[in-house]
Amino acid sequence: MVGLKVKVGLELHQQLATKYKLFCCCQSSLAAVEPEYKFIRRLRPTQSELGEVDPAALFEFKKGRYIVYEVDDASSCLVEMDEEPPHPLNEEAVEIALTVAMMLNASPVDEVHVMRKIVIDGSNTAGFQRTALIATGGYIDVEGKRIPIQTICVEEDAARLVKQEGEAVYYRLDRLGIPLIEVATAPVIESPKEALTVAFSIGRVLRATGRVRRGLGSIRQDVNISVEGGGLIEVKGVQKLDLIEKVVEYEIMRQKNLLAIRDELNARGCKPADIINEPIRDLTEIFVDTSSRIIRNAVKSGGRVLGVKLKGFGGLLSRELEPGLRFGGEFATRASFWGGVGGIFHTDELPAYGITAEEVAKIKSSAEAGELDAVVFVADECSKAEAALKAVLERALEALKGVPDETRGPNPDGTTRYMRPRPGAARMYPETDIPPLRITEDLLLKVKRNLPEHPSVTLNNLMELYGLNRKLAEQLMDSEYLNTFKLIVSEVKVPAKFVAATLTETLKSLERGGVDVGVLSDSILIDVFRYVDRGFMVKESIPDVLKWLCLNVNMGVEDALKALNIRLLSREELEKIVDEALTAKSDIVSKMGVKAVNSIMGFLMNKLRGRVDPQLLMEIIRGKIVERMGGGES
Amino acid sequence: MRGESAPDNPSPHGLEGYRGLALKVLRSIGAEVGDVIRVKRADGAVYEGILVPRFEYGDPECVVLKLRNGYNIGLKIKDTDVVEKLAEGGKFTYKVQLAPKAVSSLPRVSIIGTGGTIASRIDYRTGAVTPTFTADDLYSMVPELGEIANIDTKVLFNVFSEDMTPKHWTKIAEEVASQFENSIQGVVVAHGTDTMGYTAAALSFALQGLPAPVILVGAQRSSDRPSSDAALNLIGAVVAAVHAPFGEVAVAMHKNLSDDEILIHRGTRVRKCHTSRRDAFKSINTDPLGVVKNKTYHQISSSFKPRGSLNGFKIKPLFEEKVALIKYYPGFNPEVIERLLDMGYRGIILEGTGLGHVGSICIKAIERARDMGVFVGMTSQCIWGRVNMNIYYTGRDLQKAGVTPLEDMLAETAVVKLMWVLAQTDNIEEVKKLMLTNISGEFSQRTSYRWSA
């Protein structure tokens, strides 16, 4: 089991910093205002020539699910609302993608065709996401290994999920249509560590263009992971590069544990027939006087307690697959996905939750369950409970085969949760509302002439020109602030190392503290260093000032200093302080005369750094000394 | 509701979109649309995919392949490329899904297709969108229909909305009339949206004393997308056909941007007022007839013609095409009117300014029309409100010159009505009388404050 081969492929999605969205002329950024208008939609599964409809999609539709879209006028127009046909493909986005394609040694297509990819969870108003293949057949060399880049695409970002309430799913439309670039590697990555390195290397190329968006949610990865003998799992929407390593590690762990469970089930002689022929049993009678509040309430409101026996599954349901996820949890998520129930009970975790040992014994005997069997039961409306248990049986059947193909979502700690079954082959058809875009030789030439510096050259330059050590230089390149760094050091005389450290470590620690540093514009960041350079602010205040600026968007450094009470001292205040200092140091002044200025200046700057304008302070000290000397002599 | 990518008449090879070297190379290897093709480039790049049809736009010298990952790409074929055919495309058979069969005790509704795609099937392999119109397909794509009615479908013809002519109106009217011989509860006509308002007006005049509602329905978003408004509009139309109390022609379309309520507009009063929104159709200078919500019909307007008996039903399906609609604007040259008269036009509807005016420069031409026995009627380009040609000198002079003010009638309805009236009579006095007779609710006596943009 230890030596099982692992295959990982990455799909990186990065928002592009274009002026407009991909298919309309709305601002290409999130809304700054509250929603102004709402409308309701119901998406219907479309039918292919094979009469096939995505089962998950059909299921959602049949449940009567509807979508509420929230809009504001600045960030969305009729195109996002699917009330106006899309405009032609944004050529600025295509140019950026071509730039990336060239840097990744990929061959651009001669004519770009926009496709519709069916997605009916509501995240796209049209019921499909628009996407276009720009280049194929590239590669990137990472630590001596050549990683093939299969495809480079541009696509529209989806609407933002706001909340789910009963049958209503709420989406905010502002993000829909922001251009994304998608870079997909071949599934050749073999370890969690390598996945992370490859992700960073591709990320460096993307950022080298200087035309990608930054901040939380501007980059998202899909990670495809399969363990030899396991299933193909797609983990969708990993928002932080750093998390990739953990995601891969935990998913390998989960798949290996599922394979071990399969082997155990086989050893116990479990057969698909045991599961297929298993009846759903009504166990309501057992709970007439139960002290379990959940079950009592469910039955009181007309529900039933239904259960199924899982032959041979006894003891396995409580087995941990990855941190925080037991095998039983996989059954629970399926049950709530397909049956809409709150959760399941299984005998491995009982007695508990107010269910007594006596009740457990009754359940087992009425389900004819032996020592090695488990019973899963649900207390809910009859139809929901039945759908839930059918999903449980389905999952049990899959357990006999090993790892079911799934689309999973990442948790913040890198573990994953079930999202939906994996869709079949991509359901794509041409977006006939948008003319194909010819990639001309002229366009390619223009892109080639403006190709940015290769990341390896940048790394060397950072070390040689700015004296950064390799670690700091790499950190800077893997941050979103390389260009900001260059801008700052060219405009402000603050040590490059300090700027680099601030833009990486300081910002990162703020982010870890839950602050959205993505709102900081380059000009604000430059301003902060300019204040330090001029001595208006101490270096040590930078974290506080930055934090305040993140929380108070559209305010300036001056406002931050005032609000944080680290503003400059006034002339009157300074004169008073200087007077006091001269009195305290009267011996030096009388001994050195005007030459004491430097000494007094040094003494006061130590005390007042960040709160005074040094030139002003110097001027006051000089004036006061001259005044005192004049006064003394007369 | 047009089949934007559905070729009208696909050639056996499907190569008609291709030109130049691309076409030559494809022909030389005997490739047809649907075959698996490989293109090998001089630089070593290799592309494999299914050959798909080229549409109207783009570079016809680029071969379009659908790659295994589902994407289409265009490759400009060069002399140095090696193009091979790897496999023949298979034929596709459509598995009809188990459609919920309607209960036979449900009321019967006929759906007549006139063009476009009220339902369509996507061939994800080549990307072609094929319109489909059998009852089974409709049930399977809009399963709710099976709970509402027993449906018969008939494709009358397949015409884009903008290609409709009065001759098509005649055929639709005759087809609808023939449906009533089959004791049905209502008729639905699927129609492209661009000229649906004109057809609705035409049918309103052609079909009189209707025994049941005739509901026109279309879609602003094509039916191949999950967000199409076609399904809900169709459900609304069928519900209205079954349950509405009126015997009139109406249009069923979205009330607003939500997939929620379907308004039922009177055929003579409805106008497409937006190029793309799903609530493009508005009732002008009147209340909508009704609304469908949650598959239930609610009557809004209390003034309507109730369903009549089959005996009282009359069909008058002919239209005179020598009728013009002229929109007046500053700088308008009255010679346009003179030329129409020279061409033998029998009627002119003016879409005048404000209360119903055209510049006094037009009076001579209009007097000539009067003297030739040509009807000239006035409507307003304001859309909302009623013309009144008694307020200003110009209006009074225009009336003296022979212009007939047409109350609050839509210009589009007025031109359709005039076509119909001129097919009924040659007598100009009779024409004037009919134009001012309220035949199908095309105008009203009073103007409510509610009727405004």
Residue ranges covered by each domain of chain A: 6-266+425-430, 269-397, 453-563, 571-633
Give the model's pLDDT for residue B1: 40
Q: Which chain A residue has its CA at the smallest distance from B65's CA? A: A113
Mean pLDDT of B48-53: 90
Cα A289 from chain centroid (whole Å)? 47
- Over residues B4-21, the pLDDT tens digits come to 333 434 445 678 889 999
Question: Are the beta carbons of A81 and B57 separated by less than 8 Å?
Answer: no
The nearest CA of chain A is from the CA of B177 a distance in Å of 33
Taking only the tens place, the pLDDT of each residue in B422-445 is 999 999 999 999 999 999 999 999
Is the per-residue pLDDT at A61 higher than 80? no
* pLDDT of the residue at A519: 86
**Is B99 a domain residue?**
no
Q: By the CB < 8 Å criterion, does A591 face chain B?
A: no
Name the pLDDT band for A574 (thresholds 50, 70, 90). confident
Q: What is the dihedral of CA B201, B203, B208, B211, to 10 degrees?
A: -120
CATH of the domain at B72: 2.30.30.520
Using the beta-carbon criterion (under 8 Å), do B75 and A113 form an inter-chain contact? no
Q: Residue B93 falls within a domain, yes or no?
A: no
Same domain assignment for residues B193 and B68: no
Decide if B163 is catalytic: no
Same structural domain for residues B305 and B327?
no
**Catalytic option among B117, B286, B404, B413:** B117
What is the rounded CA–CA span in Å between residue B6 and residue A429? Answer: 13
Instruction: Note whether B277 contacts A432, CB cutoff 8 Å.
Output: no
Last residue of a domain, one of B282, B315, B348: B315
Q: Do B209 and B293 fall within a single domain?
A: yes
If one compares A341 and B293, the residue with the highest pLDDT of the two is B293
Same domain for B415 and B274?
no
Same domain, B243 and B387: no
Rounded Cα distance between B129 and B117, Å, is 9
Residue B131 DSSP SS3: strand
Q: Is the pLDDT score of A504 beyond 90?
A: yes
Mutate to test the interface with B, among A23, A36, A41 (most CBs of B within 10 A): A41
Tell me: pLDDT of A48 over 60: no
Closest residue in A to B69 (Cα–Cα): A426
Give the active site residue among B126, B153, B193, B195.
B193
**Alpha carbons B264 and B255: distance in angstroms, whole number:** 9
Residue of A220, A108, A82 lying closest to B228 (CA atoms) = A82
The reply to whether residue B227 touches residue A126, judged by beta carbons under 8 angstroms, is yes
Helix H segments across A63-106? 91-103
Shortest alpha-carbon distance between residue B46 and chain A (Å):
9
- pLDDT over 70, % of chain A: 95
Q: Which of B284, B315, B346 is the last residue of a domain?
A: B315
Note if B272 is an active site residue: yes
Q: Please name which of A126, A150, A130 lies closest in space to residue A138, comparing C-alpha atoms.
A: A150
CB within 8 Å of chain A, chain B residues 380-409: none
**Residue B92: predicted pLDDT:** 47
Does residue B5 lie within any of the structural domains? no
The CATH T-level fold of domain A269-397 is Gyrase A; domain 2 (3.30.1360)
For residue B100, name the pLDDT band (cuts at 50, 70, 90): low
pLDDT at B137: 76
Query: Which of B69, B73, B95 lies at the smallest CB-CB distance from A50?
Result: B95
Residue B363 and residue B288 in one domain: no
Mutation site, B193, B227, B228, interface A, largest A CB count within 10 A? B227
Average pLDDT on A404-428 reads 84
Q: Residue B373 is part of a domain; what is its CATH number?
A: 3.40.50.40
d(CA A128, CA A113): 15
Q: How many structural domains are present in chain B?
A: 3
Confidence grade of residue A2 (pLDDT, cut at 50, 70, 90): low
Q: Are residues B145 and B242 in the same domain?
A: yes
- pLDDT tens sequence across A125-164: 999 999 999 999 999 999 999 999 999 999 999 999 999 8
How does A106-145 read in b/e, with b if 16+ C-beta sit within 10 Å?
A: bbbbbbbbbbbbbbbbbbbbbbbbbbbbbbbbbebebeee
**Whether residue B154 sits in one domain with residue B70:** no
CA nearest to A61 within chain B: B226
pLDDT band at B102 (very low <50, low <70, confident <90, very high): low
Which of A65-69, A120-124, A246-250, B213-217 is least confident? A120-124
Residues B120 and B80 in one domain: no
pLDDT of residue B117: 65
Q: Tell me the pLDDT tens digit for each residue of A456-489.
A: 899 999 999 999 999 999 999 888 888 899 999 9
Query: Per mean pLDDT, which range of A465-474, B97-106, B171-180 is the poorest?
Result: B97-106
Residue B168's domain spans which residues? Answer: 108-315
Is residue A15 within 8 A of residue A178, CB to CB? The reply is yes
Predicted confidence band of residue B409 (pLDDT cuts 50, 70, 90): very high
**Of residues A262 and A422, which shows the higher confidence score?**
A262
Subunit contact B71:A133, Cβ cutoff 8 A: yes
- Are B293 and B253 within one domain? yes
Residue B100 belongs to some domain of the structure: no
In the three-class reduction of DSSP (H, G, I as helix; E, B as strand; rest coil), residue A534 is classed as coil
**Same-domain status, B204 and B256:** yes
* B153 CB neighbour count, 10 Å cutoff: 20
Q: Is the pLDDT of residue A84 over 50?
A: yes
Instruction: Give pLDDT, residue B122.
Output: 66
Residue B132 appears among annotated catalytic residues = no
Report pLDDT digits (tens) over B383-404. Answer: 999 999 999 999 999 999 999 9
pLDDT band for position A592 (cuts 50, 70, 90): confident
Any idea what DSSP says for residue B394? H
Q: Are B266 and B164 within one domain?
A: yes
**A49 Cα to chain B: minimum distance (Å):** 5
In the structure, what pLDDT confidence band is assigned to residue B99 with cuts at 50, 70 and 90?
Answer: low
Q: Which of B75, B129, B227 sits opposite A43 (nearest CB)?
A: B227
Chain B positions in Cβ-Cβ contact with residue A41 (cut-off 8 Å) = 227, 258-259
> What pLDDT, on the 0 to 100 scale, is given for residue B124?
63
